[in-house]
Amino acid sequence: MSAVTETTYTPETSVGRITNFVDERVGGSGILREFGRKVFPDHWSFMFGEVALYSFVILLLSGTFLTFFFDPSMAETHYNGSFVPLKGVEMSVAYNSSLNISFDIRGGLFMRQVHHWAALLFVASVSVHMLRVFFTGAFRKPREMNWVVGGVLVILSMAAGFTGYSLPDDLLSGNGLRIIDGVIKSIPIIGTYISFFLFGGEFPGTHIIGRLFTLHILLIPAVILLMIAIHLFMVVVHKHTQYPGPGRNDHNVVGYPLGPVYAAKAGGFFFIVFGVVAFMAAAFTINPIWNYGPYDPSPVSAGTQPDWYIGWVDGALRLMPGWLFGFPLEWHIPFPWGVNTLTLNVLLPALVPAGIVFTVLFTYPWLERWITRDNREHHVLDRPRNAPTRTAIGMAGFVFYCVLWAAASSDLIATHFFVSLNDVTYWLRGLFFLGPILAFIATKRIALALQRKDREIALHGRETGRIVRLPHGEFIEVHAQLDDYKRYKLVGFESPEPMPGIPNSKGIVTKSEKRRAALSRFFFEDRVAPATPAELEAGHGHAEHEAIDPANHDAKSISH
C-alpha cells in the first residue's frame, strides 16, 4: 500500500508541465479515462433536461447581477428616479430599487428581463422534461429515485419562481401574496398562525419581502443546486436511456462519445439557449412593473395573469364554487369552546388537485412496478404508443392540468370569444371531470391505432403513392418494403399480456394480488402484439398478388 510512485514522465511544454503538476495531485488522467469517451445516446427529446440546466445557470448569472442592486426592504420611500410618471409616489424601497434597476442601471432592465424569461423557460423545460421521462417510461428501474428527485425539482422550480415574482413589490406581486395569504388562512387550526408568522404580523406587514428574498436567493437555489447535483450524479451512475432501435438493447448504450461530438453539441447548446433567452429579453417586455405601480391593497385591474406555472392553482381556486347545489362549502363547526370555521371552498381547490397530481407523480413508478411485477432494469425507452395505458394515464393527467390552467384565464377566454364568463366556468367545471376521462380513452385508442399502423408497415411496407395497373386491369399501390433496420425499430418492443393473480407461498391468491391482477388486466388487455418474422413470411407468400419487380430495388414488393 505504501509504495511511492516515481514518475519518469517529464512534459515538454509549459502547458504540459502545469497539467502534469495538477494531474499528479488530483489524478485527472483517471477521470478523463473514465469519462472522456463515455457514450451518450442522442435524441431531440433529451434536450429538455439540458434546457432546464442551462436556464438555471442563466438564472444564477442574471440573478447574482440583480442582487447587487436590489434592496429587499419594505420601508416607505418616495420615488425620485428617472421614470417621470411615478415621481414623488410613495412606495417601498424594494419597488423603488426594482424601478432603479429598470431605469437607472444600464442593462438593468435587460438583466431583469433575462432573469424573468429564463425563469419561465426554466419551469417550462423542467415540466416538459418530466413529461418526456414519463411518456417514454424512463422512470422504470433503476431510475425510480431519480424520478422522485425530478419531482422535487419541479416543485422547487415553482417555489423559486413564485418567491422571485413577489420580490419587486409591485401591485401584481402584492396581489399574488394577498391570495396566498387568503389560502394560508383557510388551513384549519394553524392557518392564522402561519399567516402571522410568515408576514410578521398582519398582511402585508414589513417583513415578507425580506424573508422571500432570503428564500429566493439563498435557500431555494441552494436546494435546487443540491438536487441537480444528485440528479446528474444518478444519470452518470445509470447511464442515459436510449430509444429503441437496431443495435440498442438493455445491455448496451449506443450513441456518440462525450469527447468531442457530444460535449461540443451540449456545450454549444448552452450558448444557443442563452442566445434565445437574450433575444426574448430584447424583443418582448415581461413584467413591466412601472405600469402596475407600487403595492396598494385597494386597486386591482382585471385580466392580469400570474406567471404561467401558478396558473393551474389559481384556476382551481376559480373553478370551485362557494356553494354547491345550495349547500355552503364554508362550514361553521360548533365545538365545546366555540364555533370554528372550515373554509372548504378555498382549502379543497388549493390542496386536492395539487395533492392528486403530486401523489400520482411520486408513486407512479412503484405503482406500475407493482402492477407489472417487473423487476428488470430498463434502459431502452418505450415509444409512447407501445405503452398505450401509461400514455393514456399521462394524457389524462396532462388534460387535467390544462383544464385548471385554462380556468386561470377564464375571464380572458370569455372576453376574447365573446361568451359569458359564467358559461366558461360551467364548461370548465364539466371538463374538470370529463376531460381526463375523454383524454384517456382517446389517447389509448390513438396509441393502439398507431401500433396497428406500425404492424402494417412492418409487414407490408410503406405506401409509395405509386399506382400501377396489373395485367388484368386491377389498380394497386406499390408498397416499399422496409429495410431490416427500419423494420426492427417498429417491431423491437415488448407487449406485455395481463398477468393473472399469482398464489403466494401458502398457495393463496391474496386480496391485494387480486387487485393487482385486475389492474394488470386494465393495463394490458387491449394490446397489439409486435409483428413476427413468421407473419412477414406469410405476408410475402400471399398468393393473390403476383410479385412484380417495379424497380431494380429488391426490397420492394406488392401487397394489398
Partner 1 sequence: MGDHGDGHSEQGAVAKAGQSVAEKFQDPGIPPHRPRLADKDPRAAKRAERQVAILFGISVLGTLLFFWAYFGVRLDQTVATLRLQNLLLGLGTGFAMLGIGTGIVHWAKALMPDHEVSEERHEIRSEADRVAAVKIVDEILDETGIKRRPLIRNTLIGAVALAPLPAIAMFRDLGPLPANALSHTMWKEGTRLVHDPTGTPIKASDVTIGSAFHVIPDGLNEMTEGKLEAKAKAVVLLMRLNPELLHPSAGREDWSHDGIVAYSKICTHVGCPVALYEQQTHHLLCPCHQSTFDLTQECKVIFGPANRPLPQLPIKIDSEGYLVAQSDFHEPVGPSFWERS
- Footprint (CB under 8 A) of partner 1, residues 470-529: 484-485, 487-488, 491-492, 494-497, 529
Please report whether residue 359 would count as binding partner 1 according to CB under 8 A: no
How far apart are the C-alpha atoms of 302 and 79, rounded to whole Å? 26
Q: Candidates 119-127, 183-191, 356-364, 500-508: pick the segment binding partner 1 (CB under 8 A).
A: 183-191
- Cα(first)–Cα(last) distance of the chain, in Å? 73
Non-local (6+) Cβ contacts of 18 within 8 A are none
Residue 346 binds which of ligand HEM, partner 1, none (CB < 5-8 A, kind-dependent) = partner 1
CA dist 505 and 142 (Å) reads 27
Q: Identify the residue among 46, 91, 92, 98 touching ligand HEM (CB under 6 A).
A: 98
Contacts with ligand HEM by CB under 6 A: the residue count is 26
Q: How far is the CB of 8 from ligand HEM (least distance, A)?
A: 48
Does residue 436 belong to the site contacting ligand HEM (CB under 6 A)?
no
Report the distance separating Cα 505 and Cα 220, nearest Å. Answer: 48
Q: Least distance in Å: CB of 470 to partner 1?
A: 30
DSSP 21-65: HHHHHH-HHHHHHHHTT-EE---GGGHHHHHHHHHHHHHHHHHHH
- We find the least distance from the C-beta atom of residue 453 to partner 1, in angstroms, to be 18
Q: By CB under 6 A, tell whether 217 contacts ligand HEM.
A: yes
Give the x-and-dash track for 283-302 against ligand HEM (CB under 6 A): ----x---------------
Instruction: Choose the one of ligand HEM, partner 1, none that binds residue 98, judging by a C-beta under 5 to 8 angstroms depending on kind.
Output: ligand HEM
> From residue 241 to residue 270, what is the string marking binding to partner 1 with x (rule CB under 8 A)?
-----xxxxxxxxxxxx--xx--xx-xxxx
Among 119, 347, 478, 519, interactor with ligand HEM by CB under 6 A: 119
Contacts 24+ apart (CB under 8 A), 270-279: 270/50, 270/54, 270/57, 273/50, 273/51, 273/54, 273/55, 273/58, 273/121, 274/54, 274/58, 277/55, 277/58, 277/114, 277/117, 277/118, 277/121, 278/114
122 interacts with ligand HEM by CB under 6 A = yes
Task: Collapse the DSSP code of 343 into the 3-class scheme (helix H, G, I; strand E, B; otherwise coil) and give the result.
Answer: strand
Residues 526-555 touching partner 1, rule: CB under 8 A, are: 529-534
Site residues (CB under 8 A) for partner 1, limited to 13-42: 37-39
- For partner 1, the closer CB: 534 or 543: 534
Taking each helix axis as running N to C, give the angle between helix 410-417 and helix 388-407, from 0 to 180 degrees, rounded to the nearest 10.
Answer: 80
CB-nearer residue toward ligand HEM: 62 or 559: 62
Nearer to ligand HEM, 279 or 366 (CB): 279
What distance in Å separates the CA atoms of residue 215 and residue 211, rounded to the nearest whole number?
6
Which of residues 96, 98, 100, 113 is near partner 1 by CB under 8 A? 113
Nearest in space to 130 (alpha carbons), one of 93, 155, 102:
155
Residue 168 interacting with ligand HEM (CB under 6 A):
yes
**Among 69, 110, 308, 370, interactor with partner 1 by CB under 8 A:** 110
Considering the complex, what minimum distance in angstroms separates the CB of residue 68 from ligand HEM?
9
User: In the beta sheet, which residues pair with residue 98?
Assistant: none
Residue 208: which residues within 8 A CB-CB, separation 6 or more?
Answer: 74, 166, 177, 198, 199, 200
Closest CA to 353 of 380, 405, 313, 383: 313
> At CA 464, angle to CA 458 and CA 468, rounded to 5?
120
Binding residues vs ligand HEM (CB under 6 A) = 59-60, 63-64, 66-67, 70, 98, 101, 112, 115-116, 119, 122, 157, 160-161, 164-165, 167-168, 216-217, 221, 224, 287
